[in-house]
């Protein structure tokens, strides 16, 4: 299984992803690390990405998922996957690629982003992320108004229902 933690910037994909991967003894991949430099420059300058900007990034992530599945390896990926068509591209095997939506509201996530000091995405891009977000209706959703430990427990409980 390849787990994709999705949601807008600041929802906790990295924090939850790293901890979840550790609990599952699988690798964690940070989706932001796969952006081409031109995307990072745009976001650093407060310019939202468009579909064309995300195209090569999504292609790289799709290949990453395919490679891991082909090798029979589980992994966790943190990736915004804001639009349904992005999720469709990444969902190369619906039985093996699992999306988990880390859901929060704008004010809650904005306060988190303002506290971050080591990320290139400025808080003024959050509105564009929410504007682009097509909330999934067919994926497991976890509300982020809990502690990371509670979120991980909720995800692990859900995963155990899939594996039994």
Q: How far apart are CA 36 and CA 111, in angstroms?
A: 27
pTM, entire model: 0.92
Predicted local distance difference test score (pLDDT) of residue 123: 63
Q: For 76, phi and psi rounded to 5 degrees? A: -125, 135
**Count of other CB atoms within 10 angstroms of residue 61:** 22
Q: What is the dotted CATH code of the domain comprising 2-163?
A: 3.40.50.300
Task: Determine how β-strand 28-30 pairs with β-strand 2-6.
Answer: unpaired
pLDDT at 142 over 70: yes
Q: List, in sequence order, every residue forming a beta bridge with 97; answer none if it has no partner.
A: 2
Condensed to tens digits (0 to 9), the pLDDT of residues 1-53 reads 999 999 998 899 999 999 999 999 999 999 999 999 999 888 888 888 899 99
Q: How far apart are CA 125 and CA 147, in angstroms?
A: 25
Q: For 5, phi and psi rounded to 5 degrees? A: -85, 120
pLDDT tier, 97 (very low <50, low <70, confident <90, very high otherwise): very high
Q: Is the Cα dihedral 91, 1, 162, 25 positive or negative? A: negative
């Amino acid at each position: 299984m390849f787990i994709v933690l999705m949601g807008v910037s600041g929802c906790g994909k990295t924090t939850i992803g790293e901890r979840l991967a550790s609990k599952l003894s699988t690798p964690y991949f940070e989706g932001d690390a796969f952006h081409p430099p031109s995307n990072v420059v745009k976001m650093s300058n407060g310019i939202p990405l468009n579909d064309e900007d995300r195209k090569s990034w999504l292609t790289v992530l799709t290949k990453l998922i395919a490679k891991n599945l082909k090798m029979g390896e589980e992994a966790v990926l943190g990736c915004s996957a804001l639009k349904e068509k992005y999720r469709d591209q990444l969902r190369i095997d619906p039985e093996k690629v699992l999306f988990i939506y880390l859901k929060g509201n704008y004010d809650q996530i904005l306060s988190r982003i303002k506290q971050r000091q080591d990320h290139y995405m400025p808080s003024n891009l959050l509105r564009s992320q929410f504007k682009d977000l097509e909330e999934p209706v067919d994926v497991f959703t976890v509300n982020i108004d809990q502690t990371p430990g509670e979120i991980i427990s909720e995800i692990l409980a859900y995963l155990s229902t899939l594996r039994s």
